[in-house]
Chain A
Amino acid sequence: MSATLQSFLAMGGYAIYVWPAYGVFFIVLLIDWFAPQFRRRRLLRELRARMARQDARKERANRPSAASTQAHP
């Protein structure tokens, strides 16, 4: 490691205060950034599952004979 990088990382002896401060800044904002995106994807997944269930129910309602023969073979 070069001397300049080493002195940069040492932060004049304050490394244990400066770097955790920047660490908290990035970690908290990263969580804040990704949380709503995961939530949005989950919402859409749940909605697609609900729509698929509704479609299946509609299909069964339209063909009652086919559904009944499937249920009691």
Chain B
Amino acid sequence: MANWIPLWLHKLSSPPVFYRFAGTLRPWAIALALLLGLAALYGGLVLAPPDYQQGDDYRIIFIHVPCAWMGLFIYGVMGIAAFIALVWRIKLAEVVAMASAPIGAAFTFITLVTGSLWGIRMWGTWWTWDARLTSELVLLFLYLGVIALYHSFEDRRQGARTAAFLALIGIVNVPIVHFSVNWWNTLHQGSTIKLLGPSTIAPSMLWPLLTMMVATKLYYVASLCSRVRADLLSLEGGKDWVRQIAENEVRG
């Protein structure tokens, strides 16, 4: 591997450099997320036709499914960051793992609530203890457990490493959530979007869904930048670069 790659990564993982990098990235990510999100909402709520069986109730899909994907995706990112934090003890990896947890929890919460609202009329119940719903609830509790464990330590870095350990163990739940609809007989329907093989959804419904998927990914990037910036300021409060930011912002 070329020599400059680890050096570049090493530089980026320094807190003041990453703080500035995240500050530059954040406005672009949120602007693009809003733009794509609005396009997806217009496509999903206005342009796409009603479903032939579910009428307009199916339109919940355009937030439910992208949020469910984000719940799993963010857990994956948190798991990788937790692994790096535990093995190489890189401060930035700890911060990224811990900053991801509340965003993942938010998306998982939205998934559960929108799923319930969808289920009331289509299933006749807002909740059932089937494999998909139960494993999704476990996912939310894993996120909340990581957040709680992180905050239960006086020493923030020790808390982050302990919570990273829980995050790493909890990663077994990610494939369980994903494959639950195939492994067990669930009330929840199977995937309509497939990476391998043709998707069983009309193009007019597919593009808003995929656009919203990209929008939520970009939102995660932006929100992560915000949280990492705040966490770095808090962790490095006594250092010169943070003091300089505090002084400059009072002038600006």
Contacts A25-B63, A29-B110 known; list 12 others, CB within 8 Å: A12-B55, A17-B57, A17-B60, A21-B113, A24-B113, A24-B117, A33-B223, A33-B226, A35-B102, A36-B223, A43-B233, A47-B242
Give the distance to chain A from B77, nearest Cβ to Cβ, in Å: 16
- Whether, in the assembled complex, B185 has its beta carbon less than 8 Å from a beta carbon of chain A, the answer is no
- Whether, in the assembled complex, A39 has its beta carbon less than 8 Å from a beta carbon of chain B, the answer is yes
For chain B, which range describes its interface: under 10, 10 to 19, 20 to 34, or 35 or more residues?
A: 35 or more
Interface of B is mostly: helix
Cβ-closest chain B residue relative to A18: B59
B contact residues around A8 at 8 Å (CB): 45-46
A9 to B172, CA, bound (A): 42
Give the distance to chain A from B58, nearest Cβ to Cβ, in Å: 9
A contact residues around B230 at 8 Å (CB): 36-37, 39-40, 43
A contact residues around B169 at 8 Å (CB): none
Give the distance to chain B from A58, nearest Cβ to Cβ, in Å: 14
A contact residues around B246 at 8 Å (CB): 44, 47-48, 51
A40 to B223, CA, bound (A): 13
A32 to B230, CA, bound (A): 13
Binding site for B on A (CB under 8 A): 8, 11-14, 17-18, 20-22, 24-25, 28-29, 31-33, 35-37, 39-40, 43-44, 47-48, 51
A contact residues around B120 at 8 Å (CB): 17
B contact residues around A25 at 8 Å (CB): 63, 67, 110, 114
Binding site for A on B (CB under 8 A): 30, 45-46, 50, 55-57, 59-60, 63-64, 67, 102-103, 106, 109-110, 113-114, 117-118, 120-121, 219, 222-223, 226-227, 229-230, 233-234, 237, 242-243, 245-247, 249-250
A11 to B103, CA, bound (A): 29
A40 to B99, CA, bound (A): 13
CB within 8 A of B56: which of A12, A24, A32, A44? Answer: A12
Cβ-closest chain B residue relative to A39: B230
B57 touches A18 (CB 8 A): yes
The verdict on A44 contacting B118 (CB below 8 Å), with A17-B57, A18-B59 known, is no
B117 touches A40 (CB 8 A): no
- 26 A-B pairs with C-beta separation under 8 A: A8-B45, A12-B55, A14-B55, A14-B57, A17-B57, A17-B60, A17-B120, A17-B121, A18-B56, A18-B57, A18-B60, A21-B60, A21-B114, A21-B117, A24-B113, A25-B63, A25-B110, A25-B114, A28-B109, A29-B110, A29-B219, A32-B106, A33-B222, A36-B229, A36-B230, A44-B245
Give the distance to chain A from B234, nearest Cβ to Cβ, in Å: 5
A contact residues around B227 at 8 Å (CB): 36
B243 touches A47 (CB 8 A): yes
A17 to B103, CA, bound (A): 24
A14 to B120, CA, bound (A): 11
Cβ-closest chain A residue relative to B228: A36
